[in-house]
Structure 1
Amino acid sequence: MADFESGTAQKLLQSFMQFKKKGWHNKKIAGFNPSEFRVLATIQRCANDKNTEMKVSEISQILEVTPPTITQIVNILEKDCLVERTVDQEDRRAVKIKLTPAGMEATQSARKAFGETFLGLIDYLGVEESEQLAVLLSKVHDYFNQESHQ
Structure 2
Amino acid sequence: MAETPDEITRLKIVLARISRFVDKQVSGDGLTRTQLSVLGSVARLGPLGVGALADTEGMNPTMLSRVIGKLEGDGLLARTADPDDRRAVRVQVTDAGAELHRRLRSERTQLFADALDRLPERDADALRTVLPALEALAREIAMLSR
TM-score past 0.5 threshold = yes
Residue in 1 that maps onto 2:118 = 124
Equivalent of 1:30 in 28, 31, 43: 28
> Displaced runs of 4+ in structure 1, greater than 6 A?
1-4
Residue in 2 that maps onto 1:54 = 48
Task: Give the RMSD, CA atoms, in angstroms.
Answer: 3.5
The answer to whether the 8 Å contact 1:30/1:109 transfers is no
The answer to whether residue 93 in structure 2 is matched with residue 99 in structure 1 is yes
Matched position secondary structure for 1:96: strand
Equivalent of 1:83 in 54, 73, 77: 77
Partner letter of residue 28 of structure 2?
Answer: A
CA distance in 2, matches of 1:127, 1:57: 44
Deviation of residue 141 (structure 1)? 3.7
Choose between structure 1 and 2 for higher RCO, CA contacts under 8 A separated by at least 6 residues.
2
Deviation of residue 94 (structure 1)? 0.6
TM-score under structure 2 length normalisation: 0.69
The answer to whether the 8 Å contact 1:29/1:114 transfers is no
The answer to whether residue 101 in structure 2 is matched with residue 110 in structure 1 is no
Gaps of 5+ in 2: 142-146
The answer to whether the 8 Å contact 1:44/1:107 transfers is yes
Deviation of residue 26 (structure 1)? 5.8
The answer to whether the 8 Å contact 1:56/1:97 transfers is yes
Gaps of 5+ in 1: 48-52, 146-150
After alignment, is 99-108 or 33-42 more displaced? 33-42
CA distance in 2, matches of 1:78, 1:2: 44
Change (3 A) 1:85 1:14: closer
Deviation of residue 130 (structure 1)? 3.0
Larger-gyration structure (1/2) = 1
TM-score under structure 1 length normalisation: 0.67
